[in-house]
Amino acid sequence: MKTFNLAAPVDPADSAVAHTVGDVQAAVSRAVSKGLRVRTYTTGHAAATFGPMHDALLIRTELEGGVRVDPDARTAWIPAGTLWGAVVAATSPHGLVAVHGTAATVGVVGYLLRGGVSFYSRRFGLAPNTVRSIELVTADGQVRTADAELLWALRGGGGGFGVVTAVEVELFPVASVITGASFWPVSEAGRVVKLWRDWAREAPESVSTSLRLMNMVAAPGRPESITSGQVVCVDGAIISETPDLADAREVRDGLLGPLGKPVHDTWRETGPEAVLATHMDPPNPVRAFGDHMLLSDVDVDAFVRLAGAGSPLLSAELRQLGGAVGRPHPEGGALDHVAEPFVYQCVGSAADPEAAATGKRRAGLIRSELAPWDTGRTIPSFVGSFTQPQGHLDAEQVVTVDRIRQKVDPDGVFRGDIMPNATLTS
C-alpha cells in the first residue's frame, strides 16, 4: 500500500481497503483467523511513526457516505478515510469550522486521535477535545459506539483500541478570517524570530501562527524572491466569529507591523475555506523525515545559528501554542491540553540517502542545542518517527489507558498500533 511519505513504505503481511463498515469487520475477522494483528491508516502521512508490520493485516479506511453537517447542532459526522479538504468544503457554507489541520490531504481520524493542533486551536483547544462520538469495530468484530470511558481513551490515548469507522465532531462559528504568510530573507532571521517569540507569548487567542526557516522549492505561483534562497516565514490565521474584522486587523497589524516590510506577503481577508492553503503543505506524496520537541522557551541565537543560513533542512518550524491549547478541558480526552508554549518540528528531504543523512545530522544538532528547553513531552501528530523520544501521556494516564485497552482488546489484536509511551507492555 502507498503512503504519503514515500520514504516510509509499509510492508504488511496482508492488507485490505475498507469502503464499508462490513469491509472493516471482514478484514478484522480475516486477520484474527490468520493469527495476524490489525493495523490501520488512511493516507500514510505518519507512516514513519508506524512500527513493523510483518505480523499484521493493514486496513486502509476509505469509508463511503460523505460528511454530514448539522448546522443547528453545530456538528459534523465524518466517515473514516475522509480528508480535511472535504470537511472544510462541507462546513464552510454554514459559517462553521472544524478544528482541522493545515493540510487538505490529511486524514481526519488520525489527526483527531493523535492530538491535532489547528490554526483554530488557541481559541477552541486541541482537536481531540472536539470529538463528541466515535464509532469503531473492535477485536471481536462488533460495531460499537464508544462509551464515556472508551471515548476518553480514544482521544489521545495512543491507539490500539479498534478500527474507527466514523467520528462526530463539534463545529465552531467562524464568519471570516485574515490568513496568509509573510517572508523575509534569512539575513533577517535573528530579528524576526526574537520579535515573533516575544509577541507569541502575549498574543490574543483569536490568532495562531507559526514561524519557519525554510528552503522553499520552486512551484507555480511562488516568486523567485522566496525560492532563490533561504527565507524566514510567519504564517497563520486570525479568526472573527462575526463579519466585522476590525479586531482581527488590529491583531494582524500588531504582529506584522514591527517585523518590517517582507519580500513577499499573502495575508488577506477571506473565508475559512482559505486557511487550508496557508501553511503551504505539499499536495502530493513526498520523501521526507522529521523531528519534534515541545519547548518551554526558544533560544533564538541557537535556533537561528543551526536552522538558519546554510541549513540543509526544508523547514525548521516553531508553532505558537498557549491559549485554549494550554488549558485542561473538562470533557476532554486522554490528551486534552499541552502546557508548553511552543512546538518545534523540522522536515528534511529524504530524496536520496545522502540528502537524508545530511539533514538528519543537522536535525540532531538542533535537538542537542535545544535540549535545555526540551520538556520531554511530545504531540503524536508532530512526531517524526517511531524511534524518536515520545511522551504525551503521564504515568497515571498510561496505566488508565492500558486498562481500558485490555478490556476492549484482551488478545492484543490491535497492539501493534500503539504509540510508544502509551502502554505498559509491548
Residue from 101, 80, 121, 161 nearest 334 by CA: 161
Residues 290-305, mean pLDDT to the nearest whole number: 97
pLDDT of residue 2 exceeding 80: no
Same domain, 158 and 181: no
Same domain, 226 and 323: yes
Same domain, 133 and 18: no
Name the pLDDT band for 223 (thresholds 50, 70, 90).
very high
pLDDT of residue 1 exceeding 80: no
pLDDT of residue 371 exceeding 70: yes
In a domain, 275, yes or no: yes
Helix (H), strand (E) at residue 315: strand 315-320
pLDDT of residue 410 exceeding 70: yes
Q: In this structure, are residues 94 and 70 in contact, taking their beta carbons and an 8 Å threshold?
A: no
Q: Cα–Cα distance between 152 and 129 in angstroms, integer? A: 9
CA atoms within 13 A on the CB side of 23: 17
Please state, for a pLDDT cut of 70, what percent of the chain lies above it.
99
Among 156, 173, 190, give the residue marking a domain's end: 173
Same domain, 223 and 139: no
The structure's pTM equals 0.95
Same domain, 83 and 217: no
Predicted confidence at residue 219, as pLDDT, reads: 86
Same domain, 29 and 161: no
3-state SS class at 102:
coil
Among 122, 150, 173, give the residue marking a domain's end: 173
Residues 209-225, mean pLDDT to the nearest whole number: 93
Cell 486524514 belongs to which residue? 107
In a domain, 420, yes or no: no
CATH number at residue 94: 3.30.465.10
In a domain, 416, yes or no: no
Same domain, 209 and 187: yes
Predicted confidence at residue 220, as pLDDT, reads: 87
Exposure string for 213-223, b = 16+ CB within 10 A, e = fewer = bbbbeeeeeee
Predicted confidence at residue 424, as pLDDT, reads: 82
Same domain, 74 and 95: yes
Q: Across all residues in the chain, what is the average pLDDT?
A: 96
Residue from 225, 201, 240, 224 nearest 123 by CA: 240
Q: Cα–Cα distance between 317 and 314 in angstroms, integer? A: 10
Same domain, 341 and 272: yes
Task: Note the helical H segments in 204-265.
Answer: 224-227, 246-256
Residue type, 253: D
Residues 295-322, mean pLDDT to the nearest whole number: 97
Render pLDDT for 28-71 as a digit per residue (tens, 0 to 9). 999 999 999 999 999 999 999 998 999 999 999 999 999 999 99
Same domain, 355 and 223: yes
In a domain, 358, yes or no: yes
Among 139, 173, 207, give the residue marking a domain's end: 173
In a domain, 397, yes or no: no
Residues 405-420, mean pLDDT to the nearest whole number: 96
Name the pLDDT band for 295 (thresholds 50, 70, 90).
very high
Same domain, 187 and 140: no
Same domain, 201 and 282: yes
Render pLDDT for 124-172 as a digit per residue (tens, 0 to 9). 999 999 999 999 999 999 999 999 999 999 999 999 999 999 999 999 9
Task: Give the total number of structural domains in the chain.
Answer: 3
Predicted confidence at residue 425, as pLDDT, reads: 61
User: What residue numbers bound the domain in which 169 lies?
Assistant: 68-173
In a domain, 112, yes or no: yes
DSSP classification of residue 283: S
In a domain, 421, yes or no: no
pLDDT of residue 305 exceeding 90: yes
